[in-house]
Structure formats: C-alpha cells, structure tokens
Amino acid sequence: SKNSVGYAEDIEILDDYLYVSDQENSSIEVFDISDPSEPVWVSNTEIGGALIGLSLKESSDGTPYLYTMRYGDAIVTMNLSNPSDPRVVGQSDIRSLHGRNIEQVESYLAISSGNEIQLYDNVFFPGQPRWSNHFSVLGNVTDIACEDNACIVGTEDKGIEIIQLNR
C-alpha cells in the first residue's frame, strides 16, 4: 500500500477506487480500496498547476468522468474507464476564474469563485464542459453543496444562501 504524498485537496470514490487531488504534486492519485483496511496505490496522472476540487459524473453512455480545476486556468476532464490508466480527455478554459469548489448538480458542474457560482454544461459536452450561466451571491463563497436543482452556498461573511438553478 502507499500513502498519498503532498496535499490531498479533495477526494472522490467510484466503485472500488479512491481518487485524490494532490495539490502539492499537481496530480490525481488513484487507490484500490476494495479492501478499505489496505488501500493499494494504483496510478497517478500529472495534471500540472494547483488543483482545486474533484467531481464525478457518469455520461449517458456510462463513461465515468472526473473533473478537477487547475487554479485560474481550466477545468480538466479525465476518463476513468480504466482506473489504472486514467486519461485526460479535455480542458475547458475558465478565464482566470479563481475557483474554490467544484460540485456536480443535475447536468452542470457548479464552480464557486468569489461571490458567484459559475455553471458549466457537462451533459451535452462531458469531455469538455462549456460555460452556461452564473449566479451572484451575497458573500464570499467558501463551500457549496448541490442537490437536484439547487446549491446551498456557504459564505465567510453572510452565512448560507440557497440558489435555485433553472435552465
């Protein structure tokens, strides 16, 4: 077994695999957790840049995708069909958006930055999400949690706010 090195910024689990966003080493680490008491390191994929957040989404054809943000630069999309060899399949420009969180909600990736939530369509464009919409919030966003068509937004100065996401 192997411990992740560096700064584990975020984690996601899909089936028997743990995906770790290693911000310090700019990579995605993959661990087999079929035996949770003995995780086994499987692979890593170097992305480059400071990585922020992870989000999983299965496309309509069943392909699993993992999304992460390269700070101030891009949404990076990885195909997880083969966990021992995850592949970067696309990058979407986020125009210097300094995202703090990335969260899947319905057919969008929701990215928090400053006092807004940016939405990117990753249903019709799973390999390369496209900007769709944005919502302003009252405070500086610290975290988001999304379910159905809403995001609950935590802010550092205004408490929480619920944003209804309508197409």
pLDDT band at 2; cut points 50, 70, 90: low
pLDDT tens-digit readout, 63-120:
999 999 888 788 999 999 999 999 999 988 886 567 788 888 877 888 888 888 888 8
Residue-by-residue DSSP string for 121-163: E-SSSTTS-EEEEEEE-SS-EEEEEEETTEEEEEETTTEEEEE
pLDDT one-digit tens code per residue, 67-79:
998 887 889 999 9
Is there a contact between 73 and 85 (Cβ–Cβ < 8 Å)?
A: no
pLDDT tens for residues 38-47?
Answer: 999 999 999 9
Which pLDDT score is estimated for 66?
A: 93
pLDDT of amino acid 1: 46
Mean pLDDT of 44-59: 88
Instruction: Give CA–CA dist 57/124, Å, rounded.
Output: 12
Q: Residues 138-155: pLDDT tens digits?
A: 888 888 888 888 888 888
Beta pairing, strands 74-79 & 64-70: antiparallel
Among the listed residues 71, 122, 66, the one whose alpha carbon sits nearest the alpha carbon of residue 100: 71
- The pLDDT-based confidence of 7 (bands split at 50, 70, 90) is confident
Q: What is the pTM of this model?
A: 0.84
